[in-house]
Structure 1
Amino acid sequence: MKTNWGTAVVLAFIGFITFIMSFVIRMNTEKKYDHQLVTEAYYARELSFQQDMDREQRTHAEGMEPRVEQKAAGIYIYFPEQADMQKITGKVSFYRPSDRAEDFEVPITLTETFLLVPAPQLLPGRWNLEIDWQYGDDRFLTHKKIMY
């Protein structure tokens, strides 16, 4: 049987639409293609973005930026030596860009000049650190990206 070009075009459209629809359904139903925002309250955090940038600039300008070092025991976060360690409070948030389920927070309670996050808590790969801390009445913020 001989087909004309109109029938071939219609069959090509039907084949293309079938392919696209199967792709869309597969992407929405399979767990390995789970699409997620970086944080739960993404839009609420976006509203405070300028305040966070100002805090981060002030942290850098005043020389209060914590130093982050990776060692075999884990990640060491050293706070400025001029600060009284007993007056430092806050939290360190670890964000894993590849898997939100691995995100966690560590409260800052210092007895030494550093905070240690043990290696067993950290999977190999990229981590985004957000060090949000307070010293007296001043609040500071630092963002770091590390490969562990």
Structure 2
Amino acid sequence: MKINWGTGIVLAFIGFISFIMFFVIKMNSDRRANHDLVTEDYYRQELAYQKEIDAQNNATNDIVNLELKKQANGLQIVFPKNLDPNKIQGTVSLYRPSNKQLDFDLPISLSNNHLLIPDKRLLDGRWDIKVNWVYNGKEYLHKENITY
């Protein structure tokens, strides 16, 4: 059977469309490629994003930088020494991008200028850390990504 150029073009289009449709169907049905939103309340968090920007600017303008240190018994968050630890209130949110069951929040309760997150709570891998705290009525925010 002889194939003319018109039939060849049609067969090439059919082959190309079949190739693309195969990968579209494969990616939509594969459980390893989860296409859900990163967080459940994404839209609510997006509306509160300006507060985060303001809190980060407060930390930058007031030069209130936190320091994260890996210790043998866990991760230590060190607050500036010029702040009274009894007046610091807030939360530390640890987010694991690869597994949302590992995410957790810790309240900030300090007796000195550092907070220790126990080593048993942190598995090896990437963690996104967000420290929200209030000092003398002013909100501050520190975000950092670490590989533990």
Given residue 88 of structure 2, which amino acid in structure 1 is its aligned partner? I
Structure 1 residue ranges without an equivalent (≥5)? none
Contact preservation (8 Å) 2:58, 2:139: no
Superposition RMSD in Å: 1.9
**Alignment length, in residue pairs?**
148
Secondary structure of the corresponding residue to residue 145 of structure 1: strand
User: Comparing 123-132 with 43-52, which one deviates more in the overlay?
Assistant: 43-52
Equivalent runs, 1:15-94 vs 2, <5 Å: 15-94=15-94
- State which drifts further: 119-128 or 16-25: 119-128
1:104 is aligned to 2:104:
yes
- 1:110 corresponds to which letter in structure 2? L
Task: Tell me the TM-score normalised to structure 1 length.
Answer: 0.86
How far off is 1:133 after superposition? Answer: 1.0
> 1:136 matched to which residue of 2?
136
TM-score normalized by the length of structure 2: 0.86
- Note the C-alpha offset of 1:24: 1.1
C-alpha separation in 2, matches of 1:117 and 1:146: 13
Percent identical? 45
Deviation at 1:142, TM superposition (A): 0.9
Report Cα offsets for 1:103-134 as digits up to 9, x if no partner. Answer: 22222122342111122222323222110012
What is the one-letter code of the residue matched to 2:68? V
Secondary structure of 1:110 counterpart: coil
Residue 76 (structure 1) shift: 0.5
* Matched AA of 1:16: F
8 A contact 2:79–2:114 mirrored in 1: yes
- The separation in 1 between residues aligned to 2:101 and 2:4, in whole angstroms, is 55
SS across alignment from 2:32: helix
Unaligned residue ranges in structure 2 (runs of 5+) = none
